[in-house]
Each structure stands twice: as structure tokens, then as C-alpha cells.
Amino acid sequence: MTEVNPSRLRNIGIVAHVDAGKTTVTERILYYTGEIHKEGEVHDGTAHTDFAPEERAHGITIFSAATSVFWRDHKLNIIDTPGHIDFNIEVNRSLRVLDGAVVVFDGVAGVEPQSETNWRLADKYGVPRLCFVNKMDRVGANYFNVVNMIEKRLGVKAAVLQLPIGEEHDFCGIVDLISMKAVVWRGDAINTPFEVQDIPGGLQEQANAYRQKLLELVVDEDDASMTKYLDGENLDEQSIRDCIRKGTLNGDFVPVLCGSAFKNKGIQPLLDAIVNYLPAPADVPPIEAALADSDEKVLVHSDENEPFAALAFKITNDKHGSLTYVRVYSGRLANGQTVLNTGSGNKERIGRMYEMHADKRMDVNALKAGDIAALIGLKHTDTGDTLCDAKRPVILETIVAPEPVIDMAIEAKSKQEQDTLVKVLQSYVQEDPSMRLKQDPESGQLIVSGMGELHLAMRIERMKTEYNLEARVGNPQVAYRETLTKKVSVDYLHKKQTGGSGQYAMVKLQIEPLPRGGGFIFENKITGGAIPNEYIPGVQAGVRQAVESGALAGYPLVDIKVVLIDGGYHVQDSSSKAFEIAAIACFRKGAALAGPKLLEPIMAVEVTTPQDHIGDCIGDINRRRGEIRSQELRGSTVILQADVPLGEMFGYIGDLRAMTSGRANFSMHFDHYNIVPENIAADIIKR
């Protein structure tokens, strides 16, 4: 790993909606920085960051890939992330550890559903970002429409740094509003050099107007620049860039650039913008961590002289072993060093460390604050665990995975392969926190859960390519949930005497619904020693067990609060097990009285269709119990947004293609859970 000054390090992610072109952007970055000498193409299955067989076969990014490049004496650690919602955990954990991001937008489609989801994640983690409007060579591309969508849909101020020269297939360059020069490419070949020219006469007036808007926006960041601007003095380019950098890091606005990655235009200016405007690790405010042995909070600074602290944000498993990707937040780490995992409480000895270049590894001897690398052979570390110096045991903010929305039964084709199947699935769950594995207590079947049909299909395909393991799978099933609608108080006495010491436990529970998304809360309000403290964990364990098995059809209960308000015990016959049994029975009794309802996942669906098929699409969504939220005309197509139950969306792509002669497409992502209508719930419960 080449040592660089921390101020010249950039940890960035490339994020976008599926098919916006972010992997092509990454490929061109690799080429123009000299990391590769022949460009890869997604459609040819030759993209360097899409190295998994299933990625190349399907032409989509499934796994985030890390690589490092150099530009203008700056080191850029880049993570190329998936665009499909089924693999959003990869975006989530990447943004958790990155300092900046480039958000890529399709020049025709603009801000799409996954663009908004990724933007909200970046907001959550406070990640400064740039916008790159890609595919400016496509028919229907409209740069100014996309800028308008960025401002309206994402609720940000856009600092337009470039204007396009030419439209659609005539797109040939950009106007740089800082230098007030034109950057023009005289061809589409990847090795075509660009030329810096005067702004074409037809664009001069527009360029002047947009530069004025840019200056009015950015001079607010610096008093000296503001004074010069108000006094009518010209601002030098560096002062303007300093203002843009400050505003970007503060989140006051977002710089917007444009180009066509596939046609090799706009990537070099984008690289300049990454270096100029996105933060170095030290530019990011120190992060708050909790001390493992107390509730005290400490600040972790990006300083190699502080005690070591790093977050494990990604784990990959293959036939050769396990790789744990880490982001170092403070201190240094060397080969052979022993660190503490505050998540598991175990100590880990650091073996070999690698700087990753997609699927290629480069040995490194040491890591320091700001670095992103992979460690081999960690035995007790999972995604979201903190590795740190045992002298300062801290816990960094972990990574929260979304709940799965689809279940599928899976079994090996032979009894001999069943153990192997379980081990492989367990390794997948370890590396992908949005995936779950459980055994149905009634049928004994293995149930694997995920974020969508594609999510699970890719895992099944990977088992075959990596392990030559074929499995029988059932049809995908909706991951329903249950909830309660009434507040009740119930008590239950568990008393059993069969000779010798008996069992005695009495509990009184108050059960009440929470707002949607409230999760599950258990609260202990025992006073006066009605139940000894050592038995309270037994009550909590019993309630949690009952919550997992549901009240109607065996689906987990959500959005409820359970309060332990009273109870009784026997000096000789009471035990934690007796209170666990009593809690299970008491909760089930109360749940049956509390108006249990079935919940189903509702998907936010966006359909893009030609105008002449809009009626068919709306009618079909209505038949699927969908609710139309909006329609928007973009050129000759209509963007239809709707909320539709997931259970009605299986096989939708085939029906959509049939009713629109293959001219429409759609995307969807999980939005919320909602109560299932009574008649449909009855059928589900009966099944």
C-alpha cells in the first residue's frame, strides 16, 4: 500500500439506480488513472469491478467492489456499489464507512427510486457527495431537467459546475463554469484527448447566466469572497473552488457535473472534482463511539497517533477462506498485532492484510487511520463489529440490515449434501446481513429469506458456480408479519407439582400496539420485589419466543410493546424456566384478545411505459390491489408510481412486457408494512 499524506486520501463510493451507468463510470476512472490499460464493458461481461461469474452473466453489479487509484498525487479508495434494490445492503454498509460519494444519474431518467433510497442513506451517514449526470449522449437526455429533479425530489441546492455542449448524439463536451472554458472531445474513442477551447458563441449567454447563479450560491461560504463579489471584483478560480469545497463538505449544496462514461467524455473533470471537493478523512468530523465497559461516549479522530479503532463492514467467503473488509478510523494496525473485537468480546490476531483491487489482492504490512483494506483469517468477527486496541475498548456505530421480505424453502438434492448446504448458507448469511436462515419448526424445512426474488436467485446460482452444489427450492413466499391493534392486560399462573420440587410462576403483562415501524419493546415495571430480578430475563425470553411465533399464522409479531407489570413467585418452586413458560402462555393469551392482524410488505413500484399503454398499466396495478401515487410525463413516456403489495407482484415483469409489447419496464423497493384485507388474510391464515 503506497503511503500518502492523509490530506491526499479520498474514500468514495459510486452509487446510483440500476442501469444509470455507475460501473461504466468506475471502469473509465480505472482507465484514465492508469489502473487498467483496456476498458471493460458491462454488456460484454468484461467490467473489472463486476468480477463474480453471476455479475458477468447477468450484466449487473451484485457485490460492492473496492479498488484504489491515483489522480493528481491523490489516492482514491473507490467502492463500486450495486444499483438494484435487492442488494441495497451493499450500498448501506459502503456508505457507512466512506467519506464521500459520487451519485450517478441517467441523463434521461433522472432521479429514480433507488437514487432516492441511496440519497437518504447518504444523508443518514452524513456523506458529502457530487452528482454526475451520465448518458448525455442518449436520445431524450435533458441535463437541466435532471438538475431540476435533483433539487425537487432530493430537497437539495444544486451547484451547477458544468453545462453540456451538444445534445443527445451530438454531445461532445462540457462548459466549465469555473474556468469559463469549453472542454471538448473530438471523438468517442477512449484514448481521444480533450481540448480546452473558448466557449462556443451560442452558449456564452447561457454560461454567463449559470456562472452568476453559481457565484451567488457559493460565495456565502467565505466572507472574503463575499466581500469581493459584492464589490464587483473578479474571484480567482482557486477561491471559487475553495468555496465549493467548503459548501460541499458542509452539505449546503451539491456540485453537479455531466458527461457520457460509455462515450468516454467527462471522466477527467469528474476526477478533478473528486479531488477538489470531496473530503479527506481528516475533513470529516470525529465520530462518536461508546466505551465497551460503560455508557460513556468518546470521540474517535482520524489520527494515526490515537489508539487503534476500525469497523468491519463487509465479509466475503469462498473456497479459499474468509476476507474481512475494514475501515480504519484511528491509530495504526500491523501484521501480527492482536486486537479486541468489542462485538464478540474475543481477541483477533491479525495475519495477512490486503489492499483490494476488485478480485486482486496486494499485500500490505500496515494500515493507518483512513485506510480501507481486507484482513484474512478473522475467526470471531461479523459485519458491523468494532476492532480496537484493548486499552481503549470502543464500540463504533454498527450497520443495521433491513428485514427480509421474501422467504423460500430450500433443500439439498441428496442427504449427503444437506450438511454442506447448511454450511454454505450460513456463510452467505454471515457475509450478507440482509439474508436470514431458519428451520421451520413444524415441517423441518430450511427457510432462506432475502430482499427479493433476484437476491435469492443470485445466491442459489452462486452455490452452483462456486461449490457445484445444486438445491431444490420452493416458490418464493411473502414474509408476512403480524401485529396487534388493542391494548390489553392479562395474567397467567403456571403451577405444576409432580413430586419433588415443582414449578410456580405468575406473571401479569400489559400488551399494546406501537405505530408502524415501532418494532418490539419489552419493559420491566416490577416494583416491590413481586418477581425477583434473577427471574426477569426468563420472562423476557418467554415473551420474545412467543412474539416470534405469532398469534394468527405463525409469523413474527411487530410494532408492539410488552410491559411486565406484576407477578408472583414461590421461594422453592420458582425458576427462570417456570417464568419463561408462564410468559409464553400469558403473552399468547393476551395476543389472542388484542385484535391480531396480518401485515404484508408494500412495495414502492415505478413503471416506465409509453403513453399509449398507460391505461393498461394502471388497470393492471389496480387489479393487484395497488394504489397509484403519481403519474409524470417525461417526453413520450409516462412514469407511474404506485404502492403495491409484494404478494401481488410475483411474475409481474412477464405480464408487463406482454401488455406493452416489451416496451415498458419497472423497478420496485420495499416501502412499508400494511394490514392485509380481511378476506385475503383469511386465505393466508388458512394456508
Can you give the pTM of this predicted structure?
A: 0.77
DSSP label at residue 647: G
- pLDDT value for 51: 54
- pLDDT of 357 strictly over 90: no
Which residue in 494, 564, 476 sits closest to 522, CA to CA? Answer: 564
Mean pLDDT of 20-48: 77
For the chain, first and last CA: distance in Å? Answer: 57
- pLDDT of 100 strictly over 70: yes
State phi, psi for 517 to the nearest 5 degrees. Answer: 95, 0
Confidence of residue 1 (pLDDT cuts 50, 70, 90): low
- pLDDT of 41 strictly over 60: no
Mean pLDDT of 590-596: 95
Confidence of residue 120 (pLDDT cuts 50, 70, 90): confident
Confidence of residue 318 (pLDDT cuts 50, 70, 90): low
CB burial string 429-465: b at 16+ within 10 A, e below: bbbbbbbbeeeeeeeeebbbbbbbbbbbbbbbbbbee
- Give the β-pairing of 287-291 and 254-258: unpaired
Cα torsion through 621, 623, 625, 628, rounded to 10: 30
Residue 19 near residue 104, CB atoms below 8 Å: no
- pLDDT value for 442: 59
With pLDDT > 70 as the criterion, what percentage of the chain qualifies?
A: 94
Residue 640 near residue 610, CB atoms below 8 Å: no
Rounded Cα distance, 630 and 645, in Å = 17
- Give the β-pairing of 560-568 and 520-524: parallel
Q: How far is CA 241 from the centre of its chain?
A: 31
Q: Is the pLDDT higher at 314 or at 359?
A: 314
- pLDDT value for 52: 65
Mean pLDDT of 586-601: 95
CB burial string 338-377: b at 16+ within 10 A, e below: ebbbbbeeeebebeebbbbbbeebeebeebbbbbbbbbee
Mean pLDDT of 209-213: 97
- pLDDT of 547 strictly over 60: yes
- pLDDT of 427 strictly over 80: yes
> What is the number of residues in the chain?
687
Confidence of residue 319 (pLDDT cuts 50, 70, 90): low
Mean pLDDT of 112-128: 89
Q: How many helices (H) and strands (E) does the chain have?
A: 16, 38
Mean pLDDT of 205-231: 95
Mean pLDDT of 42-70: 68
Q: Is the pLDDT higher at 552 or at 42?
A: 552
Confidence of residue 525 (pLDDT cuts 50, 70, 90): very high
- pLDDT of 40 strictly over 60: no
- pLDDT value for 142: 95
Which residue in 216, 184, 215, 214 sits closest to 199, CA to CA? Answer: 184
SS3 content of the chain, % helix, strand, coil (to 5): 30, 35, 35
Residue 97 near residue 311, CB atoms below 8 Å: yes
Q: Per-residue DSSP letters for 89-107? A: HHHHHHHHH-SEEEEEEET
